[in-house]
Structure 1
Amino acid sequence: MEKLQLHNTHIPLFALLLFLLHFSSLHFLSLAYTPPNKYFINCGSASNVNAALRNFVGDSNSSDLISASVSLSGKSSTVKDSNQSSGASSLYQTARIFRQNSAYEFSIEDNGTYFLRLHFFAFSSPTTPTDLSTALFDVSASGFSLLLNFTPKSYSNSPILKEFLLTIPPGKFKVYFVPRESSFAFINAIEVFLAPPDLISDEAPLMHVSPAGKRNHNYTGVLSKSLLSIYRINVGGPALTPDNESLWRNWVPDDEYIKNPGAAVDSPLHSGRPNYQGNFTEFIAPDLVYQTAKQMNINNSSQSNLSNITWSFNVSKGAAHLVRVHFCDIISTSLATLKFNLYIYRNFGLKIDSYEYADYLAVPFYVDLVVDSDESGLMNISIGSRDDSDQKTAYLNGLEIKEILNNSGSVPLVRAHKNNHVFLVVGSVIGGLVLICILVAVLFLVFKSRKPKPVENSDWSPVPALGGGSSHSRVTDGTRNGSLGSNLNLGLKMPFSDIQFMTNNFDKKLHIGKGGFGNVYRGTFRDGKKVAVKRSEPGSNQGLPEFHTEIMVLSKIRHRNLVQLIGYCDDRSEMILVYEFMEKGTLREHLYASDKPPLSWKQRLEICIGAARGLQYLHKGSAGGTIHRDVKSTNILLNENLVAKVADFGLSKTGPLDETHVSTVVKGTFGYLDPEYFKTQQLTEKSDVYSFGVVLLEVLCARPPIDPTLQREQVNLAEWAMICKKKGLLEEIVDPSVKGQIDPNSLRKFIETTEKCLQDCGADRPNMADVLWDLEYALQLQQNAMRSEPHEDSITNSSAAFVMPSVQRFPSISMSFERDDTPILMDDGSYVKASEVFSQMRIDDAR
Structure 2
Amino acid sequence: MSKLRKKYLEHLLCVLIFFTYVIGYGEAQSKSFLVDCGSNTTTEVDGRTWVGDLSPNKSVTLQGFDAITASTSKGSSVYAEIYKTARVFDAVLNYTFEGITQGNYFVRLHFSPFAIENHNVNESSFSVFADGLRLMLDINIAGEIAHKNLILESTGHNATASSLVKEFLLPTGPGKLVLSFIPEKGSFGFVNAIEIVSVDDKLFKESVTKVGGSEVELGLGGRGIETMYRLNVGGPKLGPSKDLKLYRTWETDLSYMVIENAGVEVKNSSNITYALADDSPVAPLLVYETARMMSNTEVLEKRFNISWKFEVDPNFDYLVRLHFCELLVDKQNQRIFRIYINNQTAAGNFDIFAHAGGKNKGIYQDYFDPVSSKNDVLWIQLGPDSSVGASGDALLSGLEIFKLSKNGNLAHLIRFDSTGHSVSDSKMRIIWISVGAGIAIIIFFVFLGILVVCLCKKRRSKSDESKNNPPGWRPLFLHVNNSTANAKATGGSLRLNTLAASTMGRKFTLAEIRAATKNFDDGLAIGVGGFGKVYRGELEDGTLIAIKRATPHSQQGLAEFETEIVMLSRLRHRHLVSLIGFCDEHNEMILVYEYMANGTLRSHLFGSNLPPLSWKQRLEACIGSARGLHYLHTGSERGIIHRDVKTTNILLDENFVAKMSDFGLSKAGPSMDHTHVSTAVKGSFGYLDPEYFRRQQLTEKSDVYSFGVVLFEAVCARAVINPTLPKDQINLAEWALSWQKQRNLESIIDSNLRGNYSPESLEKYGEIAEKCLADEGKNRPMMGEVLWSLEYVLQIHEAWLRKQNGENSFSSSQAVEEAPESFTLPACSNQDSSETEQSQTGSALHNSA
Please state which band the TM-score falls in when normalised by the shorter chain: 0.3 to 0.5
| TM-score computed with the length of structure 1 as normaliser | 0.43
Query: Greater helix percent: which structure?
Result: 2
| TM-score computed with the length of structure 2 as normaliser | 0.42
Larger RCO (CA under 8 A, 6+ residues apart): 1
**Bigger Cα Rg:** 2
